[in-house]
Amino acid sequence: MRLPTLVLQALVLQALAGLPAHAAPSRIDDLLARMTVEEKVGQLSLFAPVAAGALANPVTRQPSAEGQRDAIRAGRVTGLFNGVGREGKREAQTIAVKQSRLGIPLLFGADVIHGFRTVFPVPLAEAASWDPSLAERTARAAAIEATADGFRWTFAPMVDIARDARWGRTVEGAGEDVFLGARFAAARVRGFQGPDLARADAMLATPKHFAAYGAASGGLDYNTVDISERTLREVYLPPFRAALDAGALSVMSAFNEISGVPANANPWLLGSVLRGEWGFGGFVVSDYTADEELIAHGVAADAREATRLSFLAGSDISMQSGLYNEHLPDLVADGEVPMARLDDAVRRVLAVKEKLGLFDDPMRGLDGTAPADWPEHRALAREAARRAIVLLRNEGDLLPLPRQGRRIALIGPFAEGPHDLHGPWTLFPGPRPPVSLAEGLRAALADSSSLTVTAGSGVDRPVRNGLRDAMAAARNADVVLLAIGEGEAMSGEARSRTDISLPAAQQALAEAVASTGKPVIVLLRNGRAMALTGAVREARAIAVTWFLGSETGHAVADVLFGDAAPSGRLPVSFPQASGQVPFHYDHKPTGRPVPESAPDAFYKARYLDVSHEPLYAFGHGLGYGRIRYDAVALSHQRLPWNGVLEVTATLTNTGPRAMDEVVQLYVRDPVASVTRPVRQLKGFERVHVLPGATVQVTFRLQRADLGFIGADGTDTVEPGAFDVWVAPSATGGLKARFLLEGPTLHNVGKR
């Protein structure tokens, strides 16, 4: 009996793939065997829905919604992203599954960055909680909401380390530190994907932007990245590795070049590192037209060349450009792209769709209706927002305020109104408006008539009689809440700024209000570290409130009136001046460090006009208690090569109220074969300390925590002295020293 051709082909394929001959051809093998080259390429082509007004891209030959429906019917689309509503998803999926030749389901993706219908604090704000489990919970809630609306793939978490506050996308990540960033990256992947990708509420996570997008020169978005392989491996890659170790099955390539080779056409990055060293088995999706941008980068003469370079480097799915549909079939036909490489990419994509259960239930999440409001998630949003608030300064314990008996003036462009509360990358907010500061305060006050509200200025321009009205309000109040900072449009993609201080109109407002002599509490709204100057810098109290999302007003009121104590800690250093950036605490000492005993010493690594210290350090944040670090004790003065060192901190709350303290562990290798940072975060622990109580916190260190990339480019650990601090931030704290015994080891552990 002659076996049908298809089964014969499948058996041959299995033999080639080394599968046991008796194994029945998998669904994917069977599909691959039946797919035309065009259908294979179609599984590697992702588009925004034209019907939603997305940029109709002439190359996609989908200048119209009907054209896109035809492309889906022809199997030339693997998924749609962002602007497609439930009806649109249902229609598109029905065409893909019932009208295309092979019925391969579409994968619907979206930028679900910090919430969906319920908007959580922006990722940088969540990082200020120093609680990765909180970020896991909000990512899970976002996934539940988004999958209920038919999206099964999020283009998140953004895990780019950001050390230059001029860069607008700082807002989307977890800040400047590798240790903190890696933990938030993994937590967000776990949150989005959940325990099992086959579950209806599982969302495929996509750590992005691979790699080193945050290292753009000058903090200018999309700009050149030129860094050493050591910096790439020690700073920018670890959060991606952590995200993949947490199970992420897609990665998004970055727009930028890395030292001359654009990430989307970088075989070393996408091949040797991602697949070779890390064994990544998922797929790579390009960022939006990143393949087509190789022409602008000047490494591809035309779209066909850009297609070839991108695909052969390891970029599996092309987002939005349509280049793969246009040119991959020819490249395969001409032998410039081996069919086996095409099959590998398609297999990876189909395998993920299968893991998501799309083949078994393609209409899942698309039938019926999805809730537009999730009350239980609003409570989580309020909790997350409270925990994101960082109290930088609180002179004379001005905060918390009494709920009554005080006349309060709420002044500033962010005092009232539903604007600038969500922050950038909020594409799907629900119909219930976010809670403004004024609304939250009125709800919290015993007598809301004790609150007066006036804008005083616009976000970046004065308003008529604004200063006059603001000063009058301040004079008639006992305390001023000054709601100033950045508008949503000042942070996010393509929003780099040369000057990270306040817009002049708002600075003028702050100075005018300060001139009344009334105590001022600054409520900063921001998506990045900012340079605070003049009356803002000198205010009695300063709280960093970022973009806090749906429950902004209630969360701020909870903290202002003491229902919740501030517990956030800075995930980014606040420099004194814009000119200091890029600024990060884990900098190298240089050959001329400024002596602590002589901060004005000349011929040292410092500016003439500003000391090279932060205004507020990475990790800094106050509560309503007062923590005294009493002692640090080491279990060993000499740590055996295979030993574990315990570092125990003893601290006391000498303040009047309980507080959550984030005890931080920093390490320095003062002498090594390459220069090492002056400090590096190696641990943190949140403890709740009652007034008058003394607590102990113990950290464990072993040699794997002390490694670095050696001069020979390998993972290295060297014996010798190490300094360790237990501290409330990246400056200060209690210091101790231990000795790591043993031989120098290279190539320690797997990369």
Kindly state the smallest distance separating residue 93's Cβ from ligand GLC, in Å: 20
Quick one: CA dihedral 298, 299, 301, 305, positive or negative?
A: negative
Kindly state the smallest distance separating residue 150's Cβ from ligand GLC, in Å: 17
Kindly state the smallest distance separating residue 179's Cβ from ligand GLC, in Å: 24
Which CB atom, from 172 or from 177, has the smaller least distance to ligand GLC?
A: 172
Q: Is residue 394 a contact partner of residue 622, using CB atoms and an 8 Å limit?
A: yes
Does position 287 interact with ligand GLC (CB under 6 A)? The reply is yes
Size of site (CB under 6 A) for ligand GLC: 7
Which of 6, 17, 8, 79 lies closest to 344, judged by CA? 17
Sketch the per residue contact string, 83 through 112, with ligand GLC: x for CB under 6 A, - otherwise.
----------------------------x-
Sheet containing strand 659-668, edge to edge, reads 638-639, 734-740, 720-727, 659-668, 680-689
Which CB atom, from 234 or from 287, has the smaller least distance to ligand GLC?
A: 287
Kindly state the smallest distance separating residue 511's Cβ from ligand GLC, in Å: 38
Residues between 477 and 516 with contacts to ligand GLC, criterion CB under 6 A: 493
Residue 477 structure tokens: 């109040």
Q: Is residue 109 a contact partner of residue 155, using CB atoms and an 8 Å limit?
A: yes
Which CB atom, from 109 or from 121, has the smaller least distance to ligand GLC?
A: 109
Task: Identify the residue whose tokens are 């040369």.
Answer: 498
Task: Identify the residue whose tokens are 């807002």.
Answer: 171
Residue 579 neighbours by CB distance under 10 Å: 14
Q: Torsions phi, psi of 668, nearest 5?
A: -135, 140
Report the DSSP beta bridge partners of residue 409: 452, 480
Distance from C-alpha of 437 to C-alpha of 422, rounded to nearest angstrom = 13
Distance from C-alpha of 193 to C-alpha of 205, rounded to nearest angstrom = 6
Which CB atom, from 252 or from 548, has the smaller least distance to ligand GLC?
A: 252
Distant-in-sequence, close-in-space partners of 423: CB < 8 Å, separation ≥ 6: 114, 119, 121, 122, 125, 171, 488, 491, 492, 527, 546, 547, 548, 549
Quick one: CA dihedral 140, 142, 148, 154, positive or negative?
A: negative
Beta strands per DSSP E along 520-670: 520-525, 541-544, 574-575, 614-616, 627-634, 638-639, 644-653, 659-668
Kindly state the smallest distance separating residue 261's Cβ from ligand GLC, in Å: 19
Which CB atom, from 122 or from 482, has the smaller least distance to ligand GLC?
A: 122
Does position 38 interact with ligand GLC (CB under 6 A)? The reply is no
Kindly state the smallest distance separating residue 208's Cβ from ligand GLC, in Å: 6
Distance from C-alpha of 493 to C-alpha of 495, rounded to nearest angstrom = 5
Residue nearest to ligand GLC (CB): 155
The residue type of 656 is P
Which CB atom, from 178 or from 263, has the smaller least distance to ligand GLC?
A: 263
Kindly state the smallest distance separating residue 155's Cβ from ligand GLC, in Å: 3
Kindly state the smallest distance separating residue 111's Cβ from ligand GLC, in Å: 5
Distant-in-sequence, close-in-space partners of 266: CB < 8 Å, separation ≥ 6: 253, 258, 313
Which CB atom, from 120 or from 616, has the smaller least distance to ligand GLC?
A: 120
Distance from C-alpha of 198 to C-alpha of 620, rounded to nearest angstrom = 41
Residues between 534 and 593 with contacts to ligand GLC, criterion CB under 6 A: none
Q: Is residue 660 a contact partner of residue 687, using CB atoms and an 8 Å limit?
A: yes
Sketch the per residue contact string, 119 through 148, with ligand GLC: x for CB under 6 A, - otherwise.
------------------------------
Kindly state the smallest distance separating residue 127's Cβ from ligand GLC, in Å: 17
Which CB atom, from 155 or from 414, has the smaller least distance to ligand GLC?
A: 155
Sketch the per residue contact string, 46 through 85, with ligand GLC: x for CB under 6 A, - otherwise.
------------------------------------x---
Kindly state the smallest distance separating residue 169's Cβ from ligand GLC, in Å: 8
CA atoms within 13 A on the CB side of 565: 20
Which CB atom, from 293 or from 558, has the smaller least distance to ligand GLC?
A: 293
- Out of 192, 240, 288, 561, the only residue in the binding site for ligand GLC (CB under 6 A) is 288
Helices and strands, counts by H and E, the chain: 21, 28
Which CB atom, from 264 or from 452, has the smaller least distance to ligand GLC?
A: 264
Catalytic annotation, residues: 287
Q: At what angle do helices 504-514 and 466-475 cross, to 10 degrees?
A: 30
Which of 263, 183, 250 lies closest to 215, judged by CA? 263
The three-state (H, E, C) secondary structure of 381-409, written as one string: HHHHHHHHCEEEEEHHHCCCCCCCCCCEE
**Distance of alpha carbon 338 from the chain centroid:** 36
Distance from C-alpha of 147 to C-alpha of 117, rounded to nearest angstrom = 11
Kindly state the smallest distance separating residue 209's Cβ from ligand GLC, in Å: 6
Which CB atom, from 106 or from 647, has the smaller least distance to ligand GLC?
A: 106
- Out of 69, 114, 208, 679, the only residue in the binding site for ligand GLC (CB under 6 A) is 208
Which of 257, 248, 315, 244 lies closest to 286, judged by CA? 315
Kindly state the smallest distance separating residue 288's Cβ from ligand GLC, in Å: 4
Does position 116 interact with ligand GLC (CB under 6 A)? The reply is no
Distance from C-alpha of 698 to C-alpha of 645, rounded to nearest angstrom = 10
Beta strands per DSSP E along 182-288: 250-252, 257-258, 261-262, 283-285
Q: Is residue 152 a contact partner of residue 365, using CB atoms and an 8 Å limit?
A: yes
Q: Is the peptide bond before 381 cis (omega within 30 degrees of 0)?
A: no
Which of 307, 376, 404, 324 lies closest to 144, judged by CA? 376
Does position 155 interact with ligand GLC (CB under 6 A)? The reply is yes
Which CB atom, from 194 or from 424, has the smaller least distance to ligand GLC?
A: 424
Does position 257 interact with ligand GLC (CB under 6 A)? The reply is no
The residue type of 509 is L
Question: What are the residues binding ligand GLC (CB under 6 A)?
Answer: 82, 111, 155, 208, 287-288, 493
